[in-house]
Amino acid sequence: MRISDFQKWWTVILLWAVVTAGCASVGQIQMPPVKAPDLRELPAADGWWFVRFHLHWPPDTEPVWYMDLCLAHKVILPLLEKYKSEIYLWRFHRRAARDSAGRMFSFIFYASPQTAEKIFNVLKTDPLLARLKFAGVIDHVGFDDPAEITRPNLEDTADKSWPVSIQKTWPFYIMGASQMWLYLIAEVAAEQPTGVPPASIEDIKAYYQLVDETITQLWQKEGRHAFMHHLNALFEYKPIIYWEKKFLNF
């Protein structure tokens, strides 16, 4: 064998040895253990609490949705900013049905009984709520009893027909969605060229009706991509069985 051939083969052998050693050393790396979040490790003695705003809904009329935005923006947002360190999870719920609950906007949060009582007391003396009740926009506001925790578990406000894994994790999803909706209201409200903040109840209604219409347009134009597409992407673009019993993806 010529020297040059020997050198080439020796170079190949050395390279193979380096690569093999590198692979062996990579295979020996010990990854640190990753502890999955234990959803049972909740703040001690906390639970879910409801504030239910029952809005006026006369018979044979369409529900007025836009006042939910006013309540979220002007009543709940200041509370969230004040008590954010004491509230573990929160969300909104909106509904309108001709039943005993009727037209209702709810603020639902997970916190201690002491925090719940503070929030309830603030709402009971909120001047805007008092004006809205006096004007007949709100029929009444319902509060849970902070003396008794009736929903101590994460899954206690989720749909019982869902798998338990979804019941326990869904509150984190819906809080993010509620938070974006709330901040979107604040952003759109700040863009309205009103000059001065609305003062009368009629001005407040007109103001939040305009905000609601703008947000509806954003939802209808951008919702498929900004919301549904990116949610679908988290689940690998797998289709879902939609309520019409058809596979659908975004």
9 pLDDT band (50/70/90 cuts)? low
Q: How many helices (H) and strands (E) does the chain have?
A: 8, 6
- Least confident residue range of 6-10, 30-34, 43-47, 128-132: 6-10
What distance in Å separates the CA atoms of residue 65 and residue 61, rounded to the nearest whole number?
12
What distance in Å separates the CA atoms of residue 27 and residue 230, rounded to the nearest whole number?
35
**pLDDT, mean of residues 237-243:** 87
| 149: its two tokens | 């925790």
pLDDT in tens, 27-60: 555 656 655 556 556 667 899 999 999 999 999 9
18 pLDDT band (50/70/90 cuts)? very low
Residue 154, C-beta contacts closer than 8 angstroms, at least 6 positions apart: 39, 42, 89, 110, 167, 168, 171
**pLDDT, mean of residues 171-179:** 98
- Within 10 angstroms of residue 112's Cβ, the number of other Cβ atoms is 19
pLDDT(232) > 90: yes
**pLDDT, mean of residues 230-246:** 89
**pLDDT, mean of residues 149-162:** 96
Residue type, 58: P
Q: Tell me the average pLDDT of the chain.
A: 88
- The top-level CATH class assigned to 47-157 is alpha beta
The domain limits of the chain are: 47-157, 164-248
Q: What is residue 23's predicted lDDT score, i.e. its pLDDT?
A: 47
What distance in Å separates the CA atoms of residue 154 and residue 226, rounded to the nearest whole number?
28
**pLDDT, mean of residues 165-169:** 96
CB distance 89 to 172 below 8 Å? yes
Q: What is residue 1's predicted lDDT score, i.e. its pLDDT?
A: 46
Q: What is residue 38's predicted lDDT score, i.e. its pLDDT?
A: 61
